[in-house]
């Protein structure tokens, strides 16, 4: 698209399933007629001879045609100046409104609360932002993320107006360049997880205990639903168009930390915020482990057992995410009793992170199998290309032990779930896609 | 349940940027410099190698210029964006591949 904008004819080669995605991305960037040559099938599992044959016989003729065929008169489409979000787009009964929204793919497949002006107005009272304020332009649609559209999608999701400051903070976080929202529709199909800290948890009735990630509690569930609706309606993540998740993942409710039950500082404080501040942290989840039981007679034994299972699960997911960005932000979610037992043995949160970092290493040869997919020879090659820090190549011994994340603090620890149950889980983050991004919640206008 | 609802649009139903057409096409490619843009994923290089081979067989006067990206395809965020822009100025057409 940069080439076309510079006046240079161009063609993109894509597999068939990505044709609509290419066209949608082109339209969002102002080039609805971008030309795409289609490769038949899944190229990564074709033998080289088949790739060459398909390029020669199927793709190559398209490339010539698409670079030289004159542009049709109607190609340069006019800008769509259809209704904006302040316009009443439909009038009807509850069922008719939902039929209308379903037909336009404006829902997640479930009934929505009709977003009338009367329903939206109370949401706007809980923010000092003006309805038209733009918090960012969201990929892949590049539509503006306005305060008004946050309120509308909040209504649709079944949120209470009091949740509005949280909804605003969520959108601020996902709009930040660090989060790379544009990758939320990648084949990996990761889910964005909302992590909540601070007084807002109790004040607005979020569940941080048993079944914290089950749907059912209004606050956790509706705020999680809001995010998926917003990503769909405003960012444009519609499966098969802007969202190319091969399988996708179910929508996640909010993970609220049980700060009262934790012996340690909450995640938000670890991430640099003050005690007493309410904070949203957005984090991608590519893989979530079993909710694991851990049994040991001593705090040290407990940590040793947790470490073995963390290692096992980071390897069971996609360990190669470590090479795909400058940092990762995995999650280790401990039940309160596990956290308290570790603390009783003198372990701080930092101690736990350092122990697991040090004792979950793997031989360098493990990295080789991951890297073949990226056309990189080994971990030292990754260091030379700037994909890993220097300490991953202190020697070229293939049996040297390498960590599964760059630094101890990349394993973020959260305390939640059933208070006295000895379980934990690991959530593997997706490298540069959806790195932990936090925003303070502005509760100034809340009661 | 006979209530009537006047509902708002969940998104600003307008194109976020003005739409424009693609660039004019040359009548043929003879004598042109073709830019081959390869993303970081594994299949992009063999795809473009085969495209280059086919183009060379058909247009003997073609020149080629390869740009390899180790990063995400969004060139506006490339760390070597200046290098990319310089490369773009030296080509007449671009073929882009980013395949797995």
Q: How far apart are CA A37 and CA A79, in angstroms?
A: 25
CB A3 to CB B35 under 8 A?
A: yes
The mean-pLDDT minimum among A182-196, A380-394, B11-25 falls in B11-25
Residue whose token pair is 């049994």: A295
The whole-number pLDDT of residue B99 equals 67
Selected residue with higher pLDDT from B1 and A96:
A96
Q: Give the separation between CA A327 and CA A389, rounded to whole angstroms.
A: 10
CA atoms within 13 A on the CB side of A316: 12
- Per-residue pLDDT reduced to its tens digit, A239-283: 998 899 999 998 899 999 999 999 999 999 999 999 999 999 999
pLDDT digits over B5-53, tens only? 999 999 865 556 778 889 999 888 889 999 999 877 777 888 888 889 8
Which pLDDT score is estimated for A80?
45
**Secondary structure percentages of chain A, helix, strand, coil, to 5:** 40, 15, 40
Query: Taking a contact as any Cβ pair under 8 Å apart, which residues of chain B between 42 and 81 contact chain A?
Result: 42-43, 45-47, 50-51, 54-55, 58, 70, 72, 74-76
Using the predicted structure, report yes or no on whether residue A79 has a pLDDT greater than 50. Answer: no
Nearest residue to A195 (alpha-carbon basis) of A178, A182, A212: A212
Taking CA–CA distances from B53, the nearest residue in chain A reads A56
Adjacent-strand bridge partners of A402 = A362
Contact at CB, B28 and A3, closer than 8 angstroms? no
User: Helix (H, G, I), strand (E, B), or coil: what is residue A82?
Assistant: coil
- Cα–Cα distance for residue pair A206/A219, rounded to 1 Å: 5
Q: Kindly report the nearest CA distance between residue B48 and chain A, in angstroms.
A: 9
Are A68 and B20 a contacting pair at CB < 8 A?
no
Q: What residue segments make up the domains of chain B, in order of their start?
A: 33-97
Contact B47 A82 (CB under 8 A): no
A216 pLDDT more than 80? yes
Q: What is the pLDDT of residues A295-346, one digit of tens each?
A: 999 999 999 999 999 999 999 988 888 888 789 999 999 999 999 999 999 9
How many whole angstroms separate alpha carbon A5 and alpha carbon B19? 11
Question: Could you give the strand order of the β-sheet that contains B93-97, starting from the edge strand earlier in sequence?
Answer: A36-39, A10-15, B93-97, B33-38, B63-68
Concatenating the DSSP letter of every residue in A103-145 gives HTT-SSSS-----BHHHHHHHHTT-SS-TT-EEEEETTTTEEE
In the DSSP assignment, the letter for residue A417 is S
**Structure confidence at residue A222 as a pLDDT band (50, 70, 90):** very high
Of all residues in chain B, the one with the smallest CA distance to A236 is B11
Q: pLDDT tier at A78 (50, 70, 90 boundaries)? A: very low
Determine contact, residues B65/B33, Cβ cutoff 8 Å.
yes
Is pLDDT above 70 for B1?
Answer: no
Lowest mean pLDDT segment, chosen from A89-98, A191-200, A405-414, B43-52: B43-52
List the single residue in B6, B10, B23 with the smallest CB-CB distance to A9: B23
Task: Tell whether the model's pLDDT for residue A375 goes beyond 90.
Answer: no
Mean pLDDT across chain B = 82
pLDDT over 80 at A85, yes or no: no
Predicted TM-score (pTM) of this structure = 0.89
pLDDT of residue B14: 53
- The answer to whether the CB atoms of B14 and A82 lie below 8 A apart is yes
pLDDT at residue A81, as a whole number = 44
Query: Rounded CA gap, A90 and A101, in Å?
Result: 9
Which position has the token pair 């409710």? A253
CA–CA dist A428, A404 (Å, integer):
11
Q: Which residue has the tokens 């979000």?
A: A85
pLDDT score recorded for residue A275: 97
Q: Report the residue from A15, A77, A149 with minimal CB separation from B12.
A: A149
pLDDT surpasses 80 at B79: no
Q: Residue A204 has what DSSP assignment? A: T
Range list of H helices, A281-348:
299-316, 336-344
CB contact under 8 A, B42 and A55: no
Name the helix (H) or strand (E) containing A61: helix A60-68
Provide the pLDDT for residue B75. 59
Residues of B in contact with A81 (CB under 8 A): 14
User: What does the DSSP assignment read for chain B?
Assistant: ----EEEE-SS--S-SS---PPPPPPS--TTPEEEEEE-SSTTHHHHHHHHHHHHHHH-TT-EEEEEE-SS-S-GGG-TTHHHHHHHHHT-SEEEEE---
* pLDDT tens by residue, A11-67: 998 888 888 788 878 877 888 888 999 888 888 788 888 888 888 889 888 998 999
User: Is B55:A68 a contact under the CB 8 Å cutoff?
Assistant: no
């Amino acid at each position: 698209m940069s080439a076309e904008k510079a006046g240079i004819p161009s063609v993109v080669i894509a597999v068939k399933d990505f044709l609509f995605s290419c066209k949608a991305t082109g339209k969002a960037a102002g080039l609805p007629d971008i030309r795409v040559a289609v490769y038949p099938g899944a190229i990564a599992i074709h033998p080289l001879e088949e790739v060459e044959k398909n390029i020669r016989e199927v793709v190559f003729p398209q490339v010539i045609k698409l670079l030289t065929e004159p542009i049709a008169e109607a190609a340069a489409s006019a800008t769509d100046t259809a209704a904006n979000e302040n316009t009443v787009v439909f009038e009807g009964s509850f069922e008719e409104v939902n039929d209308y929204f379903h037909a336009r793919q404006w829902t997640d497949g479930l009934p929505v609360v009709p977003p009338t002006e009367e329903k939206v107005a109370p949401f706007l009272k809980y923010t000092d932002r003006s309805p038209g304020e733009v918090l960012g332009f969201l990929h892949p649609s590049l539509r503006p993320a306005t305060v008004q559209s946050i309120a509308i999608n909040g209504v649709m999701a079944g949120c209470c107006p009091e949740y509005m400051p949280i909804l605003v903070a969520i959108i601020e976080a996902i709009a930040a360049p660090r989060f790379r929202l544009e990758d939320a529709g990648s084949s990996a199909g990761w889910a964005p997880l909302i992590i909540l800290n601070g007084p807002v948890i109790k004040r607005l009735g979020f569940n941080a205990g048993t079944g914290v990630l089950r749907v059912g509690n209004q606050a956790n569930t509706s705020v999680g639903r809001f995010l998926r609706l917003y990503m769909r309606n405003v960012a444009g993540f519609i499966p098969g168009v802007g969202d190319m998740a091969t399988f996708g993942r179910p929508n996640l409710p909010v993970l609220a930390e049980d700060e009262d039950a934790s012996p340690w500082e909450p995640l938000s404080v670890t991430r640099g915020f003050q005690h007493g501040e309410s904070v949203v942290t957005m984090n991608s989840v590519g893989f979530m482990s079993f909710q694991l039981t851990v049994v040991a007679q001593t705090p040290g034994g407990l940590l040793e057992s947790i470490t073995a299972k963390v290692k096992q699960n980071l390897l069971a997911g996609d360990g190669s995410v470590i090479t795909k960005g400058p940092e990762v932000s995995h999650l280790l979610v401990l039940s309160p009793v596990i956290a308290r037992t570790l603390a009783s043995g003198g372990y701080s949160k930092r101690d736990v992170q350092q122990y697991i970092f040090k004792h979950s290493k793997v031989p360098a040869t493990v990295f080789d199998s991951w890297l073949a997919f990226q056309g990189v020879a080994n971990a030292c090659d990754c260091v030379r290309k700037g994909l890993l820090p220097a300490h991953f190549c202190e020697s070229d011994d293939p049996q040297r032990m390498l960590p599964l994340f760059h630094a101890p603090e990349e394993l973020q620890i959260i305390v939640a779930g059933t208070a006295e149950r000895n379980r934990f889980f690991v959530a593997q983050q997706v490298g540069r896609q959806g790195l932990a991004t936090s925003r303070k919640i502005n509760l100034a206008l809340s009661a | 349940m006979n209530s009537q609802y006047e509902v708002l649009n969940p998104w600003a139903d307008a194109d976020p940027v003005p739409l424009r057409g693609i660039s004019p096409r040359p009548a043929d490619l003879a004598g042109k410099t073709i830019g081959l843009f390869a993303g970081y994923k594994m299949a992009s290089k063999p795809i473009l190698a085969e495209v280059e081979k086919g183009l060379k067989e058909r247009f003997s006067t073609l020149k080629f210029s390869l740009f390899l990206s180790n990063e995400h395809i969004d060139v506006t965020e490339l760390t070597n964006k200046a290098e990319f822009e310089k490369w773009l100025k030296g080509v007449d057409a671009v073929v882009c591949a980013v395949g797995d």
